[in-house]
Structure 1
Amino acid sequence: MPLTADQVRRLVEPVVAAQGFDLEDVHLTHSAGRTDLSIVVDRDGGGELDVLAGLSRQLSDILDQAPETADAAYVLEVTSPGVDRPLTLPRHWRRAAGRKVTVDFADADNAAAHLRGRVGAVDDDAVEIVVNNRGRLSSTRVVLTSVTNAVVGVDFSRPSVAELELCGLDADEIARRRAAS
């Protein structure tokens, strides 16, 4: 019987959590007697490549020793979410603070609405989207349950300090981001 995502999830989730990560997704593709296994993890502050490589080795050891995977030939990839990952949970929004997003949602009148801006303050119920309209900054509160689609976009612009401050980033994070752009 082919390996299932639920089996993998049960095996790896305790190790992923112990390393301070959230298990975001498990993808399995079965083809020609081989299984491609992609485990998507994330945490506040992201995951550096060397940390992900170490986690990959740990997960490989767990999977190699588990009876459920003893006969399974698989190729393992441990990765962080891609830029096109939908923002569906409050933690996804928190981790995207200050990043440019495109958000489709239902407004207060239940009409379809669309915003492009940066992720600002987030709580369990709503997110502030900071919009820069030719230098005029504004913020719109969007209730998370009204969001129908939201993704982080590729951003080639250099946001102003004021824009990043309105997103709630501290001075150190603003300096780090501005130095990187």
Structure 2
Amino acid sequence: MPMPTEEGVSRLVAGLVAGRGFDLEGVEVSTAAGQTRVRVIVDSDETADLDSIAELSSEVSARLDEADDEFGGVRYLLEVTTPGVDRPLTADRHWRRARGRKVRVRLRPGVTPPEPGLPTSFEARAGALDGDRIALVLGGKRAPHLVTVGLGDIERAVVEVEFASPNARELELTGGVASGRPPAGADAAEHTATTVDASDSTEGIME
């Protein structure tokens, strides 16, 4: 009995995801206790509401159920969801959507930090993306100031959860939180939970 593959699922659902105005951020297929789980991860420039996720989930489920030439009789649990905040920032669109948020950046080995005394792994607030360089606000609330780093010099970067609001100067330097994204700070906690955990699960049979 053939098992679904991440590549196969991606190929089947990419058009549906794009048609709904989402980016396909990844597909994960896992099996535990005899249950196959297919997880489709999507994102967009605007906040993904539960209704949109549910509608997309129904369309994805129907498409997978029709894929008898790819999979045969495999019961699966489908989950369509948005990325968590710990999703690595690997594409230009990730950085655009992270504007205004606190990020943890790790530079590649041998890369000189953007200012003296700064370690190769540091916290900053993401600013505007300009070509292949990202503006970062260093100094926190006490002495916020801008530096820029080449995307090619970054080995890994992730958005960090915040429970305190940044000051006005920090956000001013970043250009503000990206449109349609959750606000940075304490009042983002509940909003973020409903946004990044927004998901819809359905069961079906690929046959």
Instruction: Report the TM-score, using the length of structure 1 for normalisation.
Output: 0.88
The answer to whether the 8 A contact 1:45-1:95 is kept is no
Moved segments of 4+, more than 3 Å:
106-112, 176-181
C-alpha distance in structure 2 between counterparts of 1:39 and 1:131, whole Å: 35
Measure how far apart 1:3 and its partner are: 1.0
Distance of 1:180 and 1:31 partners within structure 2: 37
1:142-179: per-residue Cα shift (whole Å, max 9, x none)?
11111111111111111122211211127x889x6679
For the residues of structure 2 that align with 1:133 and 1:99, how far apart are their CA atoms? 12
SS in 1 for 2:139: strand
Seen in structure 2, the aligned counterparts of structure 1 residues 134 and 21 have a Cα distance that, compared at 3 Å, is: closer
* Structure 1 SS opposite 2:39: strand
Aligned-pair RMSD on alpha carbons? 2.5
Provide Cα deviations, 1:59-101, integer angstroms capped at 9, x if missing partner. Answer: 1111111212451210000010101111111111111110110
Structure 2 residue runs of 5 or longer lacking an equivalent are 114-118, 189-207
Same amino acid, percent of matched pairs? 41
Structure with higher RCO (Cα < 8 A, 6+ apart):
2
Query: How does the TM-score come out when normalised to structure 2?
Result: 0.78
1:165 aligned to 172, 182, 187, which one? 172
Tell me how far apart the structure 2 counterparts of residues 173 and 41 of structure 1 sit (CA, whole Å): 15
Q: How many residues align?
A: 179
**Structure-1 residue corresponding to 2:41:** 40
Any conservation in 2 of the 1:34–1:72 contact (CA below 8 Å)? Answer: no
User: Would you tell me which structure has more helix in proportion to its own residues?
Assistant: 1
**1:21-170 alignment runs, 5 A limit:** 21-67=22-68, 68-106=70-108, 110=112, 113-169=120-176
